[in-house]
Structure 1
Amino acid sequence: MARVIYFAHGQESGPWGSKILLLADIARSRGLAVESPDYRFSLDGLPRLTELRRRLADDPRKKLLVGSSMGAWVSCMAASEQGCQGLFLMAPAFEMPDHEPAHLPRKLPAWIIHGSEDAVVPVSQSETRLRGGQDRLLRVPDGHRLANSHDVLSRFFEAFLNQNAA
């Protein structure tokens, strides 16, 4: 069955920011379809979550979810939907004001890359969510945007795809 990657951008970024462009090229080079919805219609996570759930329900393909910051919260909250097979999260905002905290869904592998110098979302949010064997956390010496870590981000994403998109 065909596979698709759904990207969820952060609160103040857009659907084709530098990290998503980088990772989308890697995914396409492996024959995976790519969807990157534009969530700029709301700064709130709940309408974004509703939109992603609608899209997932309408898509019969097997899905991998990739999220950055608030987009990681959206991806985590939707990951238990039918057909989701794994999560790749960048600087995930598991805890946000006025929102239910996100947790990694059971039985889905989750790979997280988080800057140890992140002043927006502390890396401790990622460290406390790990469940053991199926999860991976890569700490990099970078800030929230992971702007200086694109090479390691690419390699980590390729390893995630090797293990979860076969």
Structure 2
Amino acid sequence: MNNLVVYNHGKDSIPWGEKALALAEVAEDRGFEFISPDYQASNDPEWRVDRLLAMDLHGYERIVLAGSSMGAYVATVAAETIKPHGLFLIAPAFYLPGYARDRFAPGTENIEVFHGWQDDVVPPENAWRFCREHRARLHVLDSDHRLLSILPLMAAAFDRFLRELAP
């Protein structure tokens, strides 16, 4: 396989939680290799960005960066350097105190964002602000920060997202 999805887990999450497992199944069905680095050693988002940028991602025809919450921030900041074919972001931790960046240059026009109306960690307005600036596809649904209640819908959207990236 020369297509790759790199999933970046959230601050207090694990590399192979429910979202990662659901997206991995979709990615593998679409012919993408799927990796989920373990960032549990540090809750510093910039440390996580550095870890992602240190990975050897050469040799892949298509790279998609995905992430949830802090992991979506990590994917987006790293995308400036990696220039992936797509970004799939779940409740992205944008415009929050303690994060070094509040301006982004994602390196791709293929961006899809999921966010919950009931998110009490990252306000939905933050996702809207990012999507408006970057003309990204935004889904705001009746769910909380983890978005597990809409996981089947998100997985179906991820399937379409990967299909649309095919040549």
Match of 1:114 in 2: 115
* Counterpart code for 1:51: R
Q: 1:165 to 1:44 in 2, by over 3 A?
A: farther
CA-CA distance at 1:60 after TM superposition: 2.6
SS at match of 1:79: helix
Deviations along 1:94-147, one digit per CA (max 9) or x if unpaired, are 123232225252543110010011011011001011247852001110000002
* Counterpart code for 1:91: A
Q: Hey, what's the Cα distance between the residues in 1 that align with 2:80 and 2:166?
A: 17
**Structure with the bigger percentage of helix:** 2
Q: 1:156 to 1:102 in 2, by over 3 A?
A: farther
The 5-angstrom pairing of residues 65-80 of structure 1 reads 65-80=65-80
59-68 or 42-51, which deviates more: 59-68
28-37 or 98-107, which deviates more: 98-107
RMSD, aligned CA: 1.9
SS at match of 1:87: strand
Q: Hey, what's the Cα distance between the residues in 2 that align with 1:82 and 1:48?
A: 14
The 5-angstrom pairing of residues 7-156 of structure 1 reads 7-55=7-55, 57-61=56-60, 62-98=62-98, 99-103=100-104, 105-131=106-132, 135-156=136-157
Q: Hey, what's the Cα distance between the residues in 1 that align with 2:153 and 2:40?
A: 28
8 Å contact kept, 1:5–1:63: yes
Deviations along 1:43-62, one digit per CA (max 9) or x if unpaired, are 1101100000011x543313
- Could you state the TM-score of these two structures normalised by the residue count of structure 2? 0.91
Q: 1:107 to 1:33 in 2, by over 3 A?
A: closer
8 Å contact kept, 1:86–1:108: yes
* Counterpart code for 2:110: P
Q: 1:97 to 1:165 in 2, by over 3 A?
A: farther
Deviations along 1:6-39, one digit per CA (max 9) or x if unpaired, are 0000000010010010010010011110110000
| Identical amino acids, percent of aligned pairs | 35
Aligned residues: 165
Q: Which runs of 5+ in 1 are unaligned?
A: none
Deviations along 1:61-110, one digit per CA (max 9) or x if unpaired, are 13100010000000000112245111000000012323222525254311
Q: Hey, what's the Cα distance between the residues in 1 that align with 2:12 and 2:127?
A: 20
* Counterpart code for 2:148: A
Q: Hey, what's the Cα distance between the residues in 1 that align with 2:108 and 2:21?
A: 28
* Counterpart code for 2:22: L
- Could you state the TM-score of these two structures normalised by the residue count of structure 1? 0.91
Q: Which runs of 5+ in 2 are unaligned?
A: none
